[in-house]
Amino acid sequence: MNSEWGTKMYRGFYCFLFIVILGLLSGCSLLQTESQTGVSVKQGYLNLNDWDGEKNGVVRLDGDWEFYWKKTRDFQENEKQYISVPSTWSNEKGVPGHGYAAYRVVINHVNKDTEYALDMPSISTAYNLWIDGDLVGSNGTPGIDKKTTMPAYHPQEVYFSSEDSTIEIVLQISNYHYRDGGIWESITFGTADQIKDIAFKADALEMVIFGCLLLSGLYHTVLFIQRRQNHSALFFSIVCFLVCIRIAATEDILIVDFFPNIPWSLIVKLEYLSFFLSVPMFLWVLYTLYPNHIAKKFCQVHMYVSVIFSMIVIFTSPNTFTHTNIAYQLMTIISIVYVSIALLKALKDKQEGALIVNLCAGFLSLTVINDILSVNSIIHNYRLSSFGLFVFIFSQSYIIANRSAKAFNEMERVTHELAVLNQTLEEKVRERTLSLEDSRDELRKANVKLENLSYKDQLTQIPNRRYFDEKFHIEWSRALEIQSTIAVMYIDIDYFKLYNDTYGHEAGDDCLKQVAKVLEETLKPYNGHIARIGGEEFIVIVSDVTAEDLNKVCEACRKSIELLKITHVKSVLSKIVTVSIGAALVLPHTRMSSRDLINAADHSLYVAKEKGRNQVCIDFRKK
């Protein structure tokens, strides 16, 4: 039955995934701006005599524009060259990336007295736009040198009317702040209503994807907070947030709508940082899913390289760090090839969810490669990596849902087995009335054993937080009743995260076991009760103790851990494992809360850490 249910779930997910991908591709087609007439600019002219805006749709002004290097608007006919649009002028004409130029195109056979519009993308990196001799739009401040040029990214729609059947478009472009200059994305021409419709759909689709990724990031962050061992959720949430930043800093540059005065250089830095950091985070996501197939070393190396690239972005100007993009793109393609091979091996080994992850990761990889080719002007297509991640989110959601369903099924199975066992037990009790007392005794022992297990930490085999809470309540009530002292000690292993990162979680678990065992033995002569409350932190209750005795207990515990001499090469204090201890002692009264004592001990632990760790700090509280 479970197998049949799982098969139906797989089929349902595949159908749902197909619908999602189809919907995204349909969304892209809604934004398609290619004219159905197939017209293009030829030697600076675009003839639209066979073009019907309502029937054929909008037109991309792609083709050969007139190009005047180091000219603004004072160009001459004999200075004319031609340049392919979209492209950068350094790739197309072999001129330096820094400079200024004029672009010109003439559109023939348009309808008079019709409101038209241009969908202007980001142009590297500042421009003025003239139509029929009138300045109708600008982006930044174009100039003839770096001092007179102010770069900006602000895609916009420019609306205008023509009193003639010919439209002259002139762009004065300058770039002194980026790697390359020129019109690197298509400019779209159409009626005002068409351009408005395309812009609205593009913004709406981008906002939907942005919102979905943001919500997914927040959702996985909550999953990680609730279960800190779920590193997959943490890494995936970081990927979602980074892609949200990239969406806001590219294409329609949404971030400018929210922060109009944001510096241009910061937008470019966010664009590059979100790319450089999202790739290693995504590798860590896949590693947490399939640690036996994706090498941790590979993820670490990619992370280190990404940090280096990110430092270059942070501490240099766009003129410098934009040259690193191609190198990082090549490394990304290598990572895609490696991950593809690793995921195929996971699929071959029949790992849980491997088929779905392969399909979605494959789709994401294709969209990333598409973006790399688009950025380098090898192809002229939409940026699709955000769509790819959007699809991958569904694979993550499916895996989580599938695991939850399996856990629920397992719980039902165990519940059913327990019900059967209880029924069998009742029948045996009725049949064996003579051994009723023995059966009850066995059942009582089993309950005691089960209760003992519920009070124990499974790793260290010492009491857990539940035991501490109940024991502390009893001891506090007793101390309040007979007016005797009570103390609480917090014990924390110094730099334990560094120990885990250096020696691995298995060694970290072994270290916790040794520390717990020694502390338990050390506290026996003092009638102390120890419990592990999480991670590398322990808590101790000591009753009927003086301030002097409490100090002896704390020092005995601290020294006992030093005597273990567990090697810890990454410790800032010494090369062995040490502990910091914070304690508080009080003679309770009715106006005092037991929480005050715990908080005081916790504060003492904080003070011990502040003083350099491997120390004891005690708060001797008065009534």
Q: Which residue has the higher pLDDT, 260 or 371?
A: 260
Which of 116, 107, 118, 117 is closest to 165 using CA atoms?
A: 107
Q: Is the pLDDT of residue 417 over 80?
A: yes
Cα four-point dihedral sign 208, 211, 214, 219: negative
What DSSP state is assigned to residue 109? S
623: Cβ contacts below 8 Å, ≥ 6 apart: 587, 589, 592
Q: Which residue has the higher pLDDT, 96 or 163?
A: 96
Strand-pair category, 537-543 with 486-493: antiparallel
Quote the pLDDT of residue 521: 94
407: Cβ contacts below 8 Å, ≥ 6 apart: none
State the residue for tokens 């940090």: 307
Dist. CA 86–CA 184, nearest whole Å? 5
Contact yes or no for 554/539 (Cβ under 8 A): no
Active site residue 536: yes
The 10s digit of each residue's pLDDT in 213-231 is 898 889 889 888 988 887 8
pTM of the shown model: 0.60
- Calculate what percentage of the chain has a pLDDT beyond 90: 47
From its phi and psi, is residue 565 left (phi > 0), alpha (psi between -120 and 50) or beta? left
Catalytic, out of 206, 251, 271, 536? 536
Please list, residue by residue across 194-222, b when 16 or more beta carbons sit within 10 angstroms of its beta carbon and e when fewer do. bbeebbeebeebbeebbebbeebbebbbe
Q: Which residue has the higher pLDDT, 459 or 435?
A: 459
Measured from the Cβ of residue 59, the count of other Cβ atoms closer than 10 Å reads 26
- The phi and psi torsions of 261 (rounded to 5 degrees) equal -95, 15
Number of H helices, E strands in the chain: 18, 16
Q: Which residue has the higher pLDDT, 150 or 114?
A: 150
Which of 507, 516, 559 is closest to 534 using CA atoms?
A: 516
Q: Which of 450-464, 471-485, 511-525 is predicted with the least confidence, judged by mean pLDDT?
A: 450-464
Q: What is the 3-state secondary structure of 31-65?
A: CCCCCCCCCCEECCEEECCCCCHHHHCCEECCEEE
Contact yes or no for 86/380 (Cβ under 8 A): yes
Dist. CA 580–CA 169, nearest whole Å? 73
The 10s digit of each residue's pLDDT in 513-568 is 999 999 999 999 998 999 998 889 999 999 999 999 999 999 999 999 999 999 99
Contact yes or no for 364/392 (Cβ under 8 A): yes
Q: Is the pLDDT of residue 253 over 60?
A: yes
Q: Which residue has the higher pLDDT, 212 or 99?
A: 99
Quote the pLDDT of residue 390: 74
Cα four-point dihedral sign 338, 353, 284, 215: positive
Distances from the Cα of 452 to the Cα of 311, 442, 467, 522, angstroms: 53, 15, 9, 22
Please list, residue by residue across 81-109, b when 16 or more beta carbons sit within 10 angstroms of its beta carbon and e when fewer do. ebbbbbbbbbbbbebebbbbbbbbbbbee
Q: Is the pLDDT of residue 335 over 70?
A: yes
Question: Is residue 86 reached through a cis peptide bond, with omega within 30 degrees of 0 on the bond before it?
Answer: yes
Using 50, 70 and 90 to split pLDDT, how confident is the model at 68? very high
Contact yes or no for 47/108 (Cβ under 8 A): yes
The 10s digit of each residue's pLDDT in 387-407 is 777 777 777 767 766 766 676
Measured from the Cβ of residue 301, the count of other Cβ atoms closer than 10 Å reads 14
Using 50, 70 and 90 to split pLDDT, how confident is the model at 5? very low
Dist. CA 334–CA 119, nearest whole Å? 36
Q: Is the pLDDT of residue 22 over 50?
A: no
